[in-house]
Chains A and B, each alone.
Chain A
Amino acid sequence: MQDAATIAVAGAPENAASGRLRLIGRNAFPFLVVGGIWEIVAWAGVFPHRLFPPLEEVALSFVQLTISGVLLHHTIETVLRLLSGFALAAIFGVIIGVLMGRSRRAEDILLPLVSIFAPIPGLAYAPLFLLWFGLGDVSAVLLVGFVSMFPIIFNSWTGVKAVKEIWVRSAQSMGADDRRMFSHVILPGALPYILTGMRLGLAQAWRILVAVEMLAAVPWGLGWLIFGARKFLNTDVMLAGIVVIAVIGLMLEKLVFQKIENYTVVRWGMITS
């Protein structure tokens, strides 16, 4: 019995290491297959070389663009636009949503407006914003903010309404005034919903921003990089840009929001991660 336990403990690290290796291998395998097919198609010359470059050319132009700093400049501009648009959405979305959740009057007045504007696809507003605010950054940021505000409004509103009645009543009977009630009961209670809303809003902002950069003729930005590369048939540049977009999208989801959730709602025991 004793022996078996020692053996198991001694064998554990090795097992874990090979298990991790196998996991990496299993996850890498599909990419190798797809990459291999891509290479074969590219070299077979089924499609014109310019339109379907082999992967090493994409990697090469990725490295070149990175070294020359062009890619970094595009990326920074895009991320700045995303953050400023999203900040607008977060501030106004949470305020409007909480107001709608707390006051019956605000809900009655705002809900019809929100439900009319929310279901229209965000990009459909783009030409209107371009017409009103001109080409460039102002339109892009305002549109991103406007579009990503709706999920935040809806979720904050639901979150405030979903705060358990019993928490509110017990806080009241313990003599909490309005301000303490809001900051100590309502806000923490609604936070899981608000965070979900922000997550959805950020994802929406990201999707819209790439398209808006193509339409709004901004001088820098990843969307513009991809769109501009089309004119010169630089498919390799396009694919490099798409890779950066995918990585940023993944990072926003995994790094930013999972961290925030771990620090707040998971730690407070409101949801299990």
Chain B
Amino acid sequence: MTQNGQRTRTLIRGTLSLLATAALYETVARSGFFPAVLLPTIPTVAQTLFAMIADGSMIEHAAFTLYRVLFGFALAVVVGLPLGILMARFQRIENFFLPLISALMPIPSFALVPLFMLWFGIGNLTTILIVLYAATFPMVFNTWSGVRSVNPLWLRAAGAMGADENSLFWKVIIPGASPFIITGMRQAFLRSWIAVVGAEMIAASDWGLGWVIFDAKEFLNADIMLAALIVIGGIGFAFERLMFGSLERATVQRWGMSRVAKG
């Protein structure tokens, strides 16, 4: 009963806080204290958002952004997963790649945008490569530490039961490392999502949610900016919660290993 009451109170307070914030914003926006172009009212933003969805332009921008981020992310998984596994299994490969990775990792992906613009021009290729760069490192690092941290007891037990190299790899190492691998994917996607918005802003092509925001600044269209922000937040949230959340539930939690991985 008290538990239930507490939860209701949390819900009420949360809703009240959101409503109060919205009301405060609305009051400031309507007070005329700031120019209306800079601080559009909430109905204006909603109207812009619906209009852009209705005429398809927002969907097209979102589609371009999603294409870039998913392409880059998929490439990062294709590169990072095998590299991480190889690094963990073979000392020589680890010796070669670890120093390089440690040197490249502290470079923020945005610092490379101007360089990539010179090399690869403006548009899809640059953006995808920036996403690839941003997403590869978390992928490699987590896979590497995941494979290394597979419980040696499991390896020995499987070996004692006569598992050959092949089944040892697929049946023990990969499932054992999977919490780390999924955490790596999650981090990699988060990084990709940040990178794609930034890369679209700086390496302005003519489609994409990041570009919409940046372009709207030139025309003082704060309502378009806020509408695009809502879409960016919504898509990021959907991927984070729905995709990776359900992936985790379907694999790691079902195997009862969720406590092994650390965020």
Is B84's beta carbon under 8 Å from chain A?
no
Given A109-B17, A245-B108, CB of A119 within 8 Å of CB of B115: no
Indicate if the CB atoms of B13 and A109 lie closer than 8 Å.
yes
Chain B residues in 8 Å Cβ range of A223: 110-111
Is A210's beta carbon under 8 Å from chain B?
yes
Indicate if the CB atoms of B109 and A207 lie closer than 8 Å.
yes
Is A249's beta carbon under 8 Å from chain B?
yes
Indicate if the CB atoms of A242 and B99 lie closer than 8 Å.
no
Chain B residues in 8 Å Cβ range of A239: 115
Chain B residues in 8 Å Cβ range of A26: 95
Is B89's beta carbon under 8 Å from chain A?
no
- The answer for the CA separation of A55 and B222 in the assembled complex, in Å, is 44
Indicate if the CB atoms of B107 and A230 lie closer than 8 Å.
no
Among A52, A121, A223, A241, the most chain B Cβ lie within 10 Å of the Cβ of A121
Is B197's beta carbon under 8 Å from chain A?
yes
Indicate if the CB atoms of A120 and B107 lie closer than 8 Å.
no
- The answer for the CA separation of A109 and B10 in the assembled complex, in Å, is 8
Chain A residues in 8 Å Cβ range of B232: 120-121, 124
On chain A, the number of residues with a Cβ less than 8 Å from chain B's Cβ atoms is 56
- The answer for the CA separation of A129 and B247 in the assembled complex, in Å, is 36
Chain B residues in 8 Å Cβ range of A206: 108
Given A109-B14, A124-B229, A226-B114, CB of A131 within 8 Å of CB of B222: yes
Is A130's beta carbon under 8 Å from chain B?
yes
- The answer for the CA separation of A196 and B15 in the assembled complex, in Å, is 30
Is B77's beta carbon under 8 Å from chain A?
no
Is B54's beta carbon under 8 Å from chain A?
no
A131's partner among B15, B103, B217 (CB-CB below 8 A) is B217
> What 0/1 pattern do residues 43 to 65 of B give for CB contact below 8 A with A?
00000000000000000000000
Is B175's beta carbon under 8 Å from chain A?
no
Chain B residues in 8 Å Cβ range of A131: 38, 217, 220, 222, 225
Interface of B is mostly: helix
- The answer for the CA separation of A188 and B6 in the assembled complex, in Å, is 29
A108's partner among B17, B216, B233 (CB-CB below 8 A) is B17
- The answer for the CA separation of A52 and B106 in the assembled complex, in Å, is 22
- The answer for the CA separation of A109 and B19 in the assembled complex, in Å, is 11
Given A127-B217, A207-B110, A249-B108, CB of A235 within 8 Å of CB of B115: yes
Is B96's beta carbon under 8 Å from chain A?
yes
Indicate if the CB atoms of A127 and B225 lie closer than 8 Å.
yes
- The answer for the CA separation of A40 and B50 in the assembled complex, in Å, is 54
Indicate if the CB atoms of B111 and A132 lie closer than 8 Å.
no
Minimal Cβ-Cβ distance residue in A for B221: A131
Chain B residues in 8 Å Cβ range of A132: 38-39
Interface residues of A in 118-167 (CB under 8 A from B): 119-128, 130-132
Nearest-CB distance from B35 to chain A (Å)? Answer: 10
- The answer for the CA separation of A128 and B226 in the assembled complex, in Å, is 8
- The answer for the CA separation of A120 and B232 in the assembled complex, in Å, is 7
Is B193's beta carbon under 8 Å from chain A?
yes
Is A4's beta carbon under 8 Å from chain B?
no
Interface segment out of the listed A27-35, A87-95, A178-186, A265-273: A27-35
- The answer for the CA separation of A128 and B100 in the assembled complex, in Å, is 37
Indicate if the CB atoms of A126 and B114 lie closer than 8 Å.
no
Interface residues of B in 13-53 (CB under 8 A from A): 13-18, 21, 38-39
Indicate if the CB atoms of B236 and A120 lie closer than 8 Å.
yes
Indicate if the CB atoms of A230 and B118 lie closer than 8 Å.
yes
- A–B complex contacts, Cβ < 8 Å, 14 sampled: A27-B99, A31-B103, A51-B118, A120-B229, A123-B197, A124-B213, A124-B228, A127-B216, A131-B38, A211-B113, A215-B201, A230-B114, A230-B118, A242-B111
